[in-house]
Structure 1
Amino acid sequence: MVELDALVQGKRVKAERLPGMAEPHVVVVGGGIAGLAAAVFLSAGPRRVTLLEASGRVGGKLRAGEVGGVRVDLGAESVLARRPEAVELARLVGLGEELEPPSTARAAIWTGGGLRPIPTGQVMGVPGDLEALAASGVLSAEGLERARHERPTGPVADDVPLGAYVGAALGPEVVQRLVEPLLGGVYAGRTDQLSLRAAVPQLLAIARAGGSLVAGVRELTSRAAAAGPVFQGLRGGLGTLPEAAEAHLRKAGVDLRTDHPVDELRRTPTGWRVASGGSVLEADAVVLAVPAPQAARLVEAELPGAAAELRQVEYAGMALVTMAFRRADLADSPLTGSGFLVPPVDGRQIKASTFSSNKWGWLARSAPDAFLLRTSLGRHREEAALDLPDEELVARSLADLGAAVGLRATPYATAVTRWRGGLPQYPVGHLERVERIRAQVAGVGGLAVCGAAYDGVGIPAVIASARRAVDGLSTPTAGGPVAEGTMGA
């Protein structure tokens, strides 16, 4: 390897280049699932790939750990199975045989002083079966009557806040007690700000047609009924996906470096110069798979307009409290179903609880004498809980669990995981902002962005954004693909 001196931010550092390099060199910045997916796609072609991750591990919000000697997910735990991207990535990295649907999907909503079953025939809380809604008991008599007297809003020509659209058609209780808790688990956001077009795009066609929202949802759910399980997990936890991806990349010859934050990104006549950890990497192309604030910092020098747009993307933080109980201690208060959601309007501390040992068969099989569950706290602009001590978050979670399901047992082990700035928000106008960012990024050539800030926060959507970034890379000089025809996997 030849070392070239270079000046970056006033400091002399070393640049790395392979002598006589024929294959294009692509640098992926960020080792979350977007960066890992991009590197996997890139590694399938004739190119040299370097992945730089600022922290000491890859995986981002996919993270495995141990609580009370039991391996469990401390971040995301499932993927939407009705989109193919996550399932395909799992198969690419050798985990195709490890996919497993939940053992139970019977979840409830804790509202009105009791657990109410989430009504069937709904899309993100928007009901398509009013009889199932009535039987659930989630709404008050007044709220149910308002939902029965739907008020079609007329064709929606432009994007609108999701809560305003659903509330106008079906009343505020549907929003507060159904849509808010279900969307809270996805975005940790607020329905009065979340974009209909960006957050629940499957409802957009209904809104634009201007017909009955209930009838439109009923048709959607009837078509989806034959599509198989909604969600999938992995035996051993979703945290095994980044581990398998890392092993796959190293075997493929990808230069994967953790503890390597990127200090600066600058254009050169033939590509890009990436300064990281005292060295400079010369790249033909760069994929930025980092959250919007970090992407803004890195493109500021070359793309100040895109940086300004990226800085407008807001994020929500949340805390996960994972607890391990001895099953024998739960004999007097058995826990059933997969867990429950909590409407913010009810003023509780937690926003959801997942009964992990019920939900995932692999977990129950691996630890038959233990029962693992977790709670989540915090949402957009209500994140004070993240600053509380671990023991306080555990105590608040146990208090709500006692009130909701009569839990009185004491966990023998706990873990608190804080995801600060973990979930980007998608307000009205978000997708237009993304279009402007991508247009500016594409204009310089050899640069692409991907991740949860763009096309969806779910894992399949994030992987799809990585595929789009890889397929769209071009050289900064000619405007054509890097090493013509080699960027797709």
Structure 2
Amino acid sequence: MTGPAVATGRWDVVVVGGGVAGLLVAWEAAAAGRRTLLLEAGSRLGGAVTAHRVGGLAVDAGADSYALTRPAVTLLIADLALDDAVVAPNPVGAWVRHRAGAAPLPANGLLGIPSRPWTADVRRVIGLAGAARASLDRVLPAGTAMGPRATLGSAVRGRLGSRVLERLVRPVAGGVYSADPSTLEMDTVTPGLRAAVAGTGSLSAGAGRIRGAAGRSGSAVAGLHGGMNTLTDALTRAATAAGAELRTGAAVRAVRRDAAGWVVDLGSTTIAAAAVVLAVPGGTADGLLAGLVPDEARAGVAAASTPVRLATLVVRAPELHRAPRGTGVLVAPGVTGVRAKALTHATAKWSWLAERAGSGVHVLRLSYGRDEGQCSAGSGGPDLPDPADLPALALADAADLLGVPLRPGQVLDTAVVTWESVLPAPRVGQRAAVARLRAALAALGPEHPLAVTGTFVAGTGLAATVADARETARRLLDPTPAVDAPGPAADQVDTRPAG
């Protein structure tokens, strides 16, 4: 019995994983003159930044926007000559649905943290008592609730009170991370916030400093005409034009070291490489790294990830033209009668999509899946509906959240997609765990580097992913430390309504 065939030639760089992070590293490596191969196990590239067709429309099946609070994606778009395709969402903003009612999300929030707790739009959500409690944040010592093991939830509760946590931060964090904010490591999900609190003296002022002078909540993002999936198309074209070879349907089983560098094992064949970059989900990376770095260096890096199920509805409903809930609704845990954690009114959010859909036709996207700490059913697992129950459940939820009757006869088409591992929820210790892993990888030596990138080390959101991938590529191509290189955690997560 013979062993697997060895592919002819030797690659300078092999990238495992064809999401945005992997495509970006492959492009930069090829553009630098390195013989580059990208291997993607699935049938298509882009990861969660991809499209599907619903009702004759090509719409985003995953991420539909990117955060403007940091420049990483903006700079990438410029490098790809996509500047003219950048579009702003409808400035009416999104709403929040909590146990006591529904209201527009306040302006200038950061992951739901209000920068000015006493403004009318904040009081409308948390009430006078909640605003009074939140105002204590300005007089508390800067270190209160900001210890080294602070979570997003503990910091908010300790400084701003339970109403801000339950009615603002929980629904926003649920939409972005599908996670309970009381489990999320603050320094990972809100990088720079600790320093901003130390500099301003309060959590609300620190959030305002990071958020900047953006408008209504949801307006600190942008998108691309045609959807964020066009970013994947542009990266694919750029990487191919630079000389990278991109292969789909190529599942990597193992990575081994040999005297000449690395051997990437696909089962039926092996590929020799001078350098390897793993741009895959945390669980996959953990398996490939077993035996290459000490177990203690891998511990805690592959953060838990709650599966998310998205139901997209295309409906003929002229009554939705007035966008009764703005660009969408975030739903707080514990709201009865609704299982969705978020709804995006996509045709209200993006004018280009409304034009393509035509008069009276609307695209609604509902997101399902909370971690066990937020499950209203108390089942001890993700609150994820069976696909067979969708889209009927989604239609009922949409009617409830939008306050507009919607009948099955109005539905023109539907689509359901499940994302298993695109929203890692960084627990306390995640940032230190990533640092340990990267130190262990660096100890393997610079001659034949092995690197990791992607959401499991960068954090959720395109801004964080792109920043980390570019820094990974820079270190791969020039291992000399850069004095002013930004860290991968410098980018803020995307607070889009649909998670």
Q: Identify whether the pair has TM-score above 0.5, normalized to the shorter chain.
A: yes
Contact persistence 2:19–2:46 (CA under 8 A): yes
User: Does the C-alpha gap of structure 1 residues 265 and 197 become closer, same or farther in structure 2, counting only changes over 3 Å?
Assistant: same
Q: What is the one-letter code of the residue matched to 1:115?
A: A
Matched, 1:264 2:254: yes
2:495 is matched with none
| Aligned match for 1:450, one of 428, 443, 453 | 453
Cα distance in 2, alignment partners of residues 349 and 197 from structure 1: 30
User: Does the C-alpha gap of structure 1 residues 330 and 173 become closer, same or farther in structure 2, counting only changes over 3 Å?
Assistant: closer
Cα distance in 1, alignment partners of residues 142 and 80 from structure 2: 47
2:47 is matched with 60
User: Does the C-alpha gap of structure 1 residues 133 and 284 become closer, same or farther in structure 2, counting only changes over 3 Å?
Assistant: farther
Contact persistence 1:98–1:235 (CA under 8 A): yes
CA displacement 1:25-81 (0-9 Å, x = unmatched): 100000011101111111111110000000010110111011111111111000112
Contact persistence 2:69–2:210 (CA under 8 A): no
2:496 is matched with none
User: Does the C-alpha gap of structure 1 residues 288 and 133 become closer, same or farther in structure 2, counting only changes over 3 Å?
Assistant: farther
1:16 is matched with 7
1:147 is matched with 134
| Aligned match for 1:89, one of 72, 76, 81 | 76
Matches within 5 A, 1:442-481: 442-445=442-445, 446-473=449-476
CA displacement 1:56-111 (0-9 Å, x = unmatched): 10110111011111111111000112322223333334433211111335111112
Matched, 1:37 2:42: no
User: Does the C-alpha gap of structure 1 residues 343 and 40 become closer, same or farther in structure 2, counting only changes over 3 Å?
Assistant: same
Identity of aligned residues (%): 34
User: Does the C-alpha gap of structure 1 residues 266 and 338 become closer, same or farther in structure 2, counting only changes over 3 Å?
Assistant: same
Matched, 1:345 2:334: yes
Q: What is the one-letter code of the residue matched to 2:327?
A: S
| Runs of at least 5 residues in structure 1 that lack an aligned partner in the other structure | 1-9, 482-489
User: Does the C-alpha gap of structure 1 residues 188 and 33 become closer, same or farther in structure 2, counting only changes over 3 Å?
Assistant: same
1:232 is matched with 222
- Provide TM-score, normalisation by structure 2: 0.85
Matches within 5 A, 1:377-456: 377-381=368-372, 382=375, 384-386=382-384, 388-390=386-388, 392-409=389-406, 410=408, 411-445=411-445, 446-456=449-459
CA displacement 1:252-298 (0-9 Å, x = unmatched): 22111100000110111121011125111111100100011111111
Cα distance in 2, alignment partners of residues 152 and 263 from structure 1: 53
TM superposition shift of 1:327: 3.7
| Runs of at least 5 residues in structure 2 that lack an aligned partner in the other structure | 376-380, 482-499
SS at match of 2:458: coil
TM superposition shift of 1:145: 3.1
User: Does the C-alpha gap of structure 1 residues 182 and 268 become closer, same or farther in structure 2, counting only changes over 3 Å?
Assistant: same
Q: What is the one-letter code of the residue matched to 2:118?
A: E
User: Does the C-alpha gap of structure 1 residues 480 and 146 become closer, same or farther in structure 2, counting only changes over 3 Å?
Assistant: closer
- Provide TM-score, normalisation by structure 1: 0.87
User: Does the C-alpha gap of structure 1 residues 234 and 473 become closer, same or farther in structure 2, counting only changes over 3 Å?
Assistant: same
Matched, 1:354 2:352: no
TM superposition shift of 1:328: 3.7
Matches within 5 A, 1:324-339: 324-328=314-318, 330=320, 335-339=324-328
CA displacement 1:375-396 (0-9 Å, x = unmatched): 1111223554435134x13233
Matched, 1:123 2:136: no
Cα distance in 2, alignment partners of residues 187 and 17 from structure 1: 43
Q: What is the one-letter code of the residue matched to 2:293?
A: L
| Aligned match for 1:276, one of 266, 274, 277 | 266
State the structure with more CA Rg: 1
Q: Choose 75-84 or 305-314, whichever is displaced more.
A: 305-314
